[in-house]
Amino acid sequence: MSGMHPDVPYWLALRRAGLGSTNFSLLLAHFGDIGSAWTAPVAELAAAGLDRQYVRAVEKARSSFDGDGELSRLEKCSARALTWLDSGFPAVLREIPQSPPVLFVRGEQGPSFDLAVAVVGTRRVTPYGRQVAEHFCEALAGAGVAIISGLARGVDAIAHRVALETGAPTVGVLAGGIDQIYPRENAGLADRILEHGCLVSEYPVGIPARPDYFPRRNRILSGLAKATLVVEAGDGSGALHTANWAFEQGRDVFAVPGSVFSRQSEGTNQLIRENTAKLVATPTQLLEELNLAGSGSQIALKAPTSPTAPAPRPDTTPDEGKLLHWLGQEPLHIDEIARRSGLPIAVVSSTLQMMEFKGLARQAGPMQYLRT
């Protein structure tokens, strides 16, 4: 790789050996550079403060070191490695506790942006959560904000997709090697992100994602962003880990409140109750908190419409009119629609199908409908 510092292969070797931010800091403080640490006697490594297990890990790495092979693996997947000493290493990420000593990057753009917001939430997103995620991400993207997320199912995937659809940059933070896409169903989404943003990871090529990597991954997710927005998160959700990392890093945390009857909103509402996150009920409130209120003129925000004031259409049947009276922007289950309208369930089902065809309503989830 042209222009690469000659010490980079040693950074990669030590990272693959399992050394993290604490050990790299000790080596740099003692030796001044990683190249000198790599060739130092074992006794000097111990004198630098490395525990015995890491001294052994360095010895083992030396015996199997293949610098050309390490660089070849990076080139094969079109990735690059940024160390703490690299000018391209994100300054905001260098500031956080436990900053990753090496950041692996794939994609057309770098991971640094003037303003970025991490958008996180549950993998088992509800129709409400989906609508909120789309609503807020469209506003952020319209204001020129880069969207950071974790490429997981649910809210993460929605955040990335909205950013791509609106032309905003987006960054996916992986919990495995930079070439390891998880879940595999998001491989297509990852390819699109590479064209308009980037993927990043602290793990070398070929390292598969592991359950214990996800919580650590979240500190990078929040660390790359000025603020973190939690859309929908149940008790114990990984999104809560990201929020806590952001809070510890001194970054702003925002949360959209959810239904008190929804398990997927238990964690979100708890963040608000504990003052870990600030409540934002509309995208405008979030933009104001980010000092982007002036950007609202460039954003076509979706104003909620009243279910009692549907737009009239000359071809609307009486049954469709009844359903329009009750349908709003909050998804309703078909059974509830039938109960409120007083129409038989069979009539409601067939009428909703015709309303979808006419563009009057759309399905927001299994048996859930809202007005368009």
Do the domains at 116-298 and 318-371 have one common CATH topology? no
Beta strands 278-279; 170-173: pairing state: unpaired
Q: What percent of the chain has pLDDT over 90?
A: 68
Cα gap 273→33, rounded to integer Å: 46
The pLDDT of residue 369 is 87
Cα-Cα-Cα-Cα dihedral sign, residues 321, 326, 332, 335: negative
Q: What percent of the chain has pLDDT over 70?
A: 93
Burial class (CB in 10 A: 0-12, 13-18, 19+), 167: exposed
Q: Is the pLDDT of residue 299 over 50?
A: no
Read off φ and ψ for residue 49, nearest 5 degrees. 115, 5
Cα gap 138→15, rounded to integer Å: 37
Confidence of residue 4 (pLDDT cuts 50, 70, 90): low
Q: What angle do CA 114, 205, 6 make, to 5 degrees?
A: 75
Q: Is the pLDDT of residue 201 over 50?
A: yes
Q: Decide which of 316 and 287 is more confident.
A: 287
The pLDDT of residue 313 is 60
Q: Is the pLDDT of residue 318 over 80?
A: yes
Burial class (CB in 10 A: 0-12, 13-18, 19+), 22: middle
Q: Is the pLDDT of residue 116 over 90?
A: yes
SS3 175: coil
Confidence of residue 253 (pLDDT cuts 50, 70, 90): very high
pLDDT tens for residues 50-94?
Answer: 999 999 999 999 998 888 888 999 999 999 999 999 989 999 999
Look at the domain 116-298 and name its fold.
Answer: Rossmann fold (3.40.50)
Q: Is the pLDDT of residue 311 over 80?
A: no
Residues 78 and 106: beta-carbon distance below 8 Å: yes
The pLDDT of residue 310 is 45
Q: Is the pLDDT of residue 226 over 60?
A: yes
| Range picked from 35-49, 60-74, 289-303, 312-326 for highest mean pLDDT | 35-49
Confidence of residue 20 (pLDDT cuts 50, 70, 90): very high
Q: Which CATH architecture describes the domain 318-371?
A: Orthogonal Bundle (1.10)
The pLDDT of residue 328 is 80
Residues in contact with 357: Cβ distance below 8 Å, sequence separation at least 6, in sequence order: none
Residues in contact with 175: Cβ distance below 8 Å, sequence separation at least 6, in sequence order: 150, 182, 201, 203, 209, 210, 213, 214, 216, 217
| Domain assignments of the chain as residue spans, ordered by start | 1-75, 116-298, 318-371
Report whether the peptide linkage leading into residue 183 is cis, meaning its omega lies within 30 degrees of zero.
Answer: yes
Confidence of residue 3 (pLDDT cuts 50, 70, 90): low
The pLDDT of residue 304 is 39
Lowest mean pLDDT among 150-164, 209-223, 343-357: 343-357
Lowest mean pLDDT among 23-32, 115-124, 290-299: 290-299
Q: Decide which of 294 and 97 is more confident.
A: 97
Segment 112-128 shows an average pLDDT of 92
Among 326, 366, 365, 330, which residue's Cα sits nearest to residue 348? 326
Segment 120-149 shows an average pLDDT of 94
Confidence of residue 354 (pLDDT cuts 50, 70, 90): confident
